[in-house]
Copies of this chain bind each other. A is one copy, B any other.
Amino acid sequence: MGDVTAQLAAIVGEANLLTGEAISDDYAHDEALSSPPQKPAYVAKPASAEEVAELLKAASTASVPVTARGSGSGLSAAARPLADGLVISFERMNAVLEIDVENHVAVVQPGVTLAELDERAAAAGLTYPVYPGELSATIGGTVGTNAGGMRAVKYGVTRNNVLGLQAVLPTGEIIRTGGRTSKVSTGYDLTQLIVGSEGTLALATEVIVKLHPRLPHGATVLAPFDDLDQVMAVVPKIVASGLAPHILEYIDNMTMAAMVYNEKLELGVPDAIRERSQAYLLVALENSDTGRLGEDVETLGGLLDELGALEVYVLEGGSARKLVEAREKAFWSAKAAGADDVVDVVVPRSAMPVFLAKARELALAAGGGVIGCGHAGDGNVHLAVFCKDPEARTNLLTGVFAYAMELGGAISGEHGLGRTKAKYYLKLEDPAKVELLRRIKSGFDPAGILNPGVLFG
């Protein structure tokens, strides 16, 4: 170990290598609720792709497992290291290298946060539209989990907005994939293979992302409905309308109550409606033209009215912003409310009503409960799971995930499998597919040093 320490220190400099007591608790976990923290043996903070390559070569030789880390805001413990492991923290590789206005791309290092990128893009009238609800998340982290968020309904997820990478293979080679172009057809798409691979195939050291024109005018509409089924029935109709909302969220009444309480929201919903409504739809529209925005809000209001909304509230700026922020923080509300786990499941959007009914039924049978909200336009359901007994909870989640897959969905739409959901994946997924993933993994990482335990359990 002393030998490895010296080697790693020689690569990044002594000041940028932590061991033992110098490693703070922060490096022991991400925000997953169901994975116990674990401090690694080493934390290295490289400053370049070349240093990352040297670190990986040294780890390979010494068989030290490696976990990449951004800001640790993940929800599946993909950034939770192993006891004998090395954390490669990208905190020093945090530069926005270029905002390329002509090609609408940004070139950034993995340690750049979404907040920093947003600030830089905004100055050029552009936006990077991946908003997974945590602006302290790093680009590298979002690449690892293929982060989504509320605006995915219009702009897609990380996968749809990453055009290219510089990445270091666990064998130490530095490669470039994709580029500043939106199309390429020369061999297998390594960019897309690395996006969502949760640090198990290669480590991104530079990311080329697509930027979009920043539309200056927006409006936020909140519509309470009698029940969740009604909300779900409305969603495909709004998608089909062509209004192209950038936010299309459902929030059940328990979650709304927690949000209102925790964030002290003033939404102007009278008590009579609040008591009656079991579920809300939150829709946000944006436009470069205020006139068109106004017309679209009108059209949307008419549509919601027609489809059974109890009322349609066009929220003014301040309360709209607060509500969207509260929705982004729904995870923290759930945590504060004592949720035992928070998972995100994806199903075809038309299957959301049956899925949610079944999830509630399974939770009830397990002596627990599920409440939630989610990216309704994408069929992406976020469930706060209340079920104290770990075994009962595992059974409950197995049932919930199995049903989602039966409906043509998946265990996770955007949080990833990490350490916490790998066991469900291995149990429920077609073994031929898992074997294929393992062979791909071996092709990248023959020594198996990158994030062992993640994805494959």
Interface residues of chain A, those whose CB is within 8 Å of chain B, are 100-105, 125, 145-146, 148, 152, 156-157, 159-160, 169, 173, 175-177, 179-190, 192-193, 195-197, 201, 213, 215, 236, 239-242, 288, 292, 346-350, 378-380, 408-417, 421, 425, 429-430, 432-434, 436-437, 439-444, 455
Contact = CB atoms under 8 A, between A and B. Distances in A.
Contacts of A187: 196-197, 417, 425, 429, 434, 437, 455
A185 B415 contact: yes
Closest 3 CB pairs between A and B?
Answer: A439-B443, A102-B350, A192-B192
Contact of A430 (B176, B415, B432): B176
23 contacts: A100-B348, A102-B350, A103-B379, A105-B348, A152-B183, A156-B160, A156-B182, A157-B182, A160-B160, A169-B432, A183-B346, A183-B380, A183-B413, A183-B414, A184-B412, A185-B412, A186-B410, A187-B197, A187-B455, A190-B437, A192-B192, A242-B288, A292-B292
Listed residue (A188, A379, A413, A443) with the most chain B CB atoms within 10 angstroms of its CB = A188
A439 B440 CA distance: 8
Nearest to A239: B104
A397 to B, nearest CB: 14
A185 B414 contact: yes
Specify how many copies of this chain sit in the oligomer. 2
A349 to B, nearest CB: 6
Contacts of A186: 410-412, 416-417, 421, 425, 429
Given A181-B378, A185-B196, 15 more contacts: A101-B240, A145-B185, A146-B183, A156-B160, A175-B432, A176-B433, A179-B348, A183-B346, A185-B413, A187-B455, A188-B197, A188-B201, A188-B440, A193-B440, A242-B288
Contacts of A348: 100, 102-103, 105, 179-181
Contact of A436 (B175, B182, B292): B175
A217 B96 CA distance: 41
Nearest to A200: B188
A169 B416 CA distance: 25
B409 A146 contact: no
Contacts of A288: 242
A236 B412 CA distance: 37
A105 to B, nearest CB: 8
Nearest to A213: B242
A183 B157 contact: yes
A141 B92 CA distance: 45
Given A348-B103, A436-B169, A443-B442, A409 B189 contact: no
Contacts of A236: 101-104
A296 to B, nearest CB: 10
Contacts of A103: 236, 348-350, 379
Contact of A159 (B169, B192, B346): B192
A391 B405 CA distance: 54
Nearest to A76: B185
Contacts of A442: 439, 443
Contacts of A440: 188, 193, 440, 443
Nearest to A180: B348
A379 B180 CA distance: 10
A193 B188 contact: yes
A101 B348 CA distance: 12
A252 to B, nearest CB: 20
Nearest to A208: B408
A450 to B, nearest CB: 13
Nearest to A380: B183
A346 B181 contact: yes
B188 A437 contact: yes
Contacts of A175: 430, 432-433, 436
A186 B159 CA distance: 13
Contact of A240 (B104, B157, B188, B434): B104
A439 B455 CA distance: 20
A189 B146 CA distance: 10
